[in-house]
Amino acid sequence: MNTLLTLLRSEGLLLDKAFFSLVQDFQDDPLATSFVSLFTRYTGQKWLRHDLFTLHPGFITSFLTSLSLEQRERAERVFLAHRLPLSASPISITSLAPSSPHQAALKYSIFYAPTKTDKKLEVSDFVGHFRSRYQQLQRILMQRADLHNLIAFNKLGNDRQQVSVIGIVTSKRMSKNGNLIATLEDLTGKMSVVFRLDKEDMAKKAGELLLDDVIAVKGSGNRDIIFAQDIYWPDSFIADKVHFEQDISIAFISDTHCGSNLHLTKSLNAFIDWLNSEDEHAKKIRFLFIPGDTVDGVGVFPGQEFVLKEKSLEEQYVLLASYLKRVPKHITMFLCPGQHDASRVAEPQPPPNKHYAAPLYEIDNLVLVTNPTLVTLHEGLKDFKVLMYHGASIHSFISEIPELRLGKAHSTPAKAVKHMLKRRHLAPTHSEVTYIPNADQDPLVIGQVPDILCTGEVHRLDIETYNGVLILTGSCWQGQTPFEEKVGNIPDPCKVPVVNLKTRELKVFDFGDSEELARIGGARAGVVDGK
């Protein structure tokens, strides 16, 4: 890389280890030189560091558009290998004062999901949406070293050969011999793929296939049919867990359902009082994540007016704000909507509507975000990512995947969230959740693998880890509703998980008030430790 070395010397540029590794991976001196030169001008920096991509999210998009097709494909593979998003989302960056003069300042950046639609939706918009999703996930799958002889469907010949293909599942059916036949589609055509269910490992994997999954298949076949030998999903991995230098923590609550006549007022007040106490764990909390269903809503289901204490959305948000205003000012809160909030149901959801939720917009340490939203916490060069998603799709994962359905995963919902990470998508199957199509990028694709994926929706705290990612499904602050009783869902209220960013230690605190909990048949108190 003679040209690149000349540029570095002449401009006096310094590269940190991660940035140098990225540049090396281009394996193309002119492309690497152009990349470094443009990045230097774009950022105005002489010390080129990996964390600058977070502070300048628009650069990668603008750089890729300046390249030829061959160069762009090479650059995209490098960026994906280094966990960098190819498309910039709207971003907000805020600095917070450090806990002490000897510590680095904390910052957070928010990657909002695009929520605006500026035209009437047509069939072509959905086609573009799925094409974009396929391309996003195809790039991730193409990084797998074990996909040999990767080929497009229209390049398959008449002779049988060992191949790997990437496609989106458009249909499934059972054959007369008891095998699963799925139709996969890529940008060049369609292909029938046979999965033999007499093999235990293949039967398990094929049983997890959902419509609209983007997968890779390794097998043998020709232009007529492929016999699968293995299935690969895009998948999520975190190799190195981040540990902050500062001894600070983050906490999670969800599904407060303010306004419901089953809202657990005393219990939620107990949590707020604890945040203001001298408890050593409470004093370390700097961030609070609230993933949706903060109010009970109005007209969400038939007859809801008979189970409401506050009959209007305005009254419900006044009650919610009365809690959040009491949260200590050194704690920054992030709140996204759910299906019960004053926001459209279609995902990605914009923040709660200001007309109804005006009191929330007056709280200085409350940040209203979209559903979903990626929040990145920064301490110097260290980043800790939290993906917030309310979780409407959890029910469809449980109903469609036999292992979850037969295992009654509504009582262990984090097992369903694992499948979001496996697919790198929050709601893959069309029609299982209402969504707004986006032809530029599917906002429900998990572009950056988070350190924590937190959800609400299921009213049960559940904790799992998946390839280094911590999964937290949120508890609730509402007693068992008539609907939950009818379907057999038993809520597990008033649990608050707290994660220490220095030690990665997880503690779960229970703030259930015994009198209120008596309404759902039990009382719990105390602390549960976990790691």
Q: Record the pTM.
A: 0.82
Instruction: Report whether 72 contacts 29 (CB < 8 A).
Output: no
Q: Are 306 and 360 in contact (CB under 8 A)?
A: no
**Does residue 500 sit in the same domain as residue 406?**
yes
Is residue 141 in some structural domain?
Answer: no
Residue environment code for 444-465, b if the CB has 16+ CB neighbours within 10 A, otherwise e = bbbbbbbbbbbbbbbbbbbbbe
pLDDT for the residue numbered 485: 78
Same domain, residue pair 158 and 65: no
pLDDT tens, per residue, the chain with 531 residues: 678 888 888 888 899 888 899 999 988 888 999 899 888 877 777 888 877 776 666 678 768 877 887 888 888 888 888 877 776 555 565 666 555 555 566 888 888 878 877 778 889 989 999 999 999 899 889 888 889 899 999 999 999 999 999 999 999 999 999 999 999 999 999 999 999 998 889 999 999 999 999 999 999 999 999 999 999 999 999 888 999 999 999 999 999 999 999 999 999 999 999 999 999 999 999 999 999 999 999 988 888 888 899 999 999 999 999 999 999 999 999 999 999 999 999 999 999 999 999 999 999 999 999 999 999 998 887 889 999 999 999 999 999 999 999 998 889 999 999 999 999 999 999 988 999 998 888 999 998 899 999 999 999 999 999 999 999 999 999 988 877 877 778 889 999 999 999 999 999 999 998 888 887 643 343 334 433
Q: Are both 291 and 216 inside the same structural domain?
A: no
| CB atoms near residue 288 (< 10 Å) | 23
Q: 224 and 277 share a domain?
A: no
Q: Please, what sign has the CA dihedral across residues 314, 316, 317, 318? A: positive
Q: Round to whole Å and give the CA distance between 230 and 164.
A: 9
* DSSP symbols for 251-320: EE-----BTBTTB-HHHHHHHHHHHTS--HHHHTEEEEEEES--B--SSSSTTGGGGBSS-SHHHHHHHH
pLDDT of res. 528:
41
Residues 190 and 48 in one domain: no
What was the pLDDT predicted at 144? 85
Q: How many domains does the chain have?
A: 3
516/438 same-domain check: yes
Supply the pLDDT for residue 39. Answer: 86
| CA–CA–CA angle 87, 91, 94 (5° rounding) | 150
Domain assignment of residue 296, given as a range: 249-375+385-525
Do 260 and 162 sit in the same domain of this protein? no
pLDDT of residue 126: 92
Question: For the chain, first and last CA: distance in Å?
Answer: 46
103 inside domain: no
**Rounded CA gap, 254 and 458, in Å?**
10
CATH of the domain at 173: 2.40.50.140
Q: What is the pLDDT of residue 114?
A: 80
Whether 110 is in a domain gets the answer: no
Contact, 113 vs 92, CB < 8 A?
A: no
Q: Is residue 369 domain-resident?
A: yes
Q: Which of 48, 67, 88 is the last residue of a domain?
A: 88
Residues 358 and 429 in one domain: yes
| Residue 45 within any structural domain of the chain | yes
Q: Where are the alpha helices (DSSP H) in 27-122?
A: 29-43, 52-55, 58-65, 69-81
Which residue in 51, 20, 45, 15 sits closest to 379, CA to CA? 51
In a domain, 147, yes or no: no
Question: Are residue 406 and residue 274 in the same domain, yes or no?
Answer: yes
**What Å distances lie between residue 17 and 45, 48, 356, 523, CA to CA?**
16, 10, 49, 53
Question: Is residue 455 one of the residues assigned to a domain?
Answer: yes
Question: At 365, which CATH number?
Answer: 3.60.21.50
Q: Are residues 291 and 422 part of one domain? A: yes
**Residue 215 tokens, joined:** 């997968």
Domain boundary among 88, 115, 137: 88
